[in-house]
């Protein structure tokens, strides 16, 4: 196991109980599952975020759930990157992706917004820097001519929830691998399974 700087793992989503099961909240769902698996609690309140501090696989980590709405995620995350002095290569953002089939995972070391407004806010708040990892979790496309904005705010059906629960377990494994072995090992693990 390689000793590394503290990592910041951010799950993007909307705060509030009414959004908890939404497709747009798979980032929150993922970091909550990761915290639960390692006995961490979101008990540290920041101005615009809740955080869980501790260690995962012996690696120091801060898990973050922004308490802004999705499209303002950068206002919550960028100050925490500075506060915890996290280098961008130790930042991982978990985000939903309409362009991936339900339950498919994709990890990348960097990239653009992918049309995701939460990612756009984050990149803008980091001064345009894009050199941080992202784990995209596929939520599928809306049926027919349904508005994507309405689709992402829907909860998963019971059948979809089964697929998503399994995907979130794989996402937790991918994050653990990213923490302990780095981005290449994590990408090899989760991207290969999705092909």
Which tokens hold the place of 24? 């747009």
pLDDT over threshold 60, residue 2: no
With beta carbons less than 8 A apart as the criterion, state whether 121 and 74 touch: yes
For the stretch 150-180, pLDDT in tens is 999 999 999 999 999 999 999 999 999 999 9
* 128 CB burial (10 A radius; 0-12, 13-18, 19+): exposed
Domain extents for the chain?
7-194
Residues that are catalytic: 24
Q: Per-residue pLDDT averaged across 17-22, rounded?
A: 95
Instruction: Quote the pTM value.
Output: 0.93
Reported CATH class of domain 7-194: alpha beta
For the stretch 43-83, pLDDT in tens is 999 889 999 999 999 999 999 999 999 999 999 999 999 99
């Amino acid at each position: 196991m390689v000793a590394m700087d503290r990592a910041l793992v951010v799950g993007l989503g909307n705060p509030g109980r009414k959004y908890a099961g939404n497709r747009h909240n798979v980032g929150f769902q993922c970091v909550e599952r990761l915290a639960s698996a390692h006995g961490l609690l979101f008990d540290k309140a920041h101005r615009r975020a809740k955080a869980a501090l501790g260690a995962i696989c012996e690696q120091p980590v801060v898990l973050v759930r922004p308490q802004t709405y999705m499209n303002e995620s950068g206002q919550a995350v960028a100050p925490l990157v500075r506060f915890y002095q996290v280098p961008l290569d130790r930042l991982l953002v978990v985000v939903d992706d309409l362009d991936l089939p339900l339950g498919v995972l994709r990890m990348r070391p960097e990239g653009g917004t992918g049309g995701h407004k939460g990612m756009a806010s984050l990149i803008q708040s980091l001064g345009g820097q894009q050199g941080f990892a992202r784990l995209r979790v596929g939520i599928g496309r809306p049926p027919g001519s349904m508005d994507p904005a309405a689709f992402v705010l829907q909860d998963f059906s019971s059948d979809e929830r089964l697929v998503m629960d399994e995907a979130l377990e794989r996402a937790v494994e991918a994050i653990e691998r990213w923490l302990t072995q780095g981005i290449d090992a994590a990408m090899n693990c989760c991207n290969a399974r999705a092909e």
